[in-house]
Amino acid sequence: MILEARDKPILAMLEWIRVRLMTKQYKKMKGIAKYTRKVCPNLQDKLEKLKHESIPFSATPAGSFMYKVDNGCERHVVDLARKACSCRIWDLTRLPCKHGIFAIVKNLEKVENYVHPCYLKETFVETYKEIIQPMSGQSEWVEINQPAPVAPHAYKPPGKPPKQRK
């Protein structure tokens, strides 16, 4: 995003970046306010895809929250109480894997209840609730009696510069 601002003077570059971040944060805040589901939109799509992939599985209950999930080729143990599966995808992503989703559906529960709180809409809203404050223009800045900053001296070694070929 900042590649467009690289050629600007430092103050103009920082102002350009601040304005872009301010508008991006505002758009995200307004966009998520319209969303009605519990899980963020891109993760909701991913969960729907995993639900579709879990169709060929079958689950055998081993306890109230423990299931053996298999499809003939692979077999996994899903523990809904610990939110874990033996494939370890659930442990790594904090999203239920396709085996876990099948066990959740078999247990007649909602998949959204087993998603980590960092993927929920409330967390997203909490992240983007703070706004980046607008600033007044450079003409309204307070004058101070300090010397202007000076760029450092660029040292150039004597002799011919080395070639940079591979």
Three-state helix/strand/coil letters over 61-75: ECCCCEEEEECCCCE
pLDDT cut 90: percent of the chain above it: 46
Task: Kindly tell me if the per-residue pLDDT of 128 is higher than 90.
Answer: no
Q: What integer best gives the mean pLDDT of the chain?
A: 89
71, 87 Cβ separation under 8 angstroms: no
Q: What is the pLDDT of residues 48-91, one digit of tens each?
A: 999 999 999 999 998 888 999 998 888 999 999 999 999 999 99
Q: Which of 56, 59, 64, 60 is nearest to 80 (CA)?
A: 64
Q: What is the pLDDT of residues 12-56, one digit of tens each?
A: 899 999 999 999 999 989 988 888 889 988 899 999 999 999 999
97, 89 Cβ separation under 8 angstroms: yes
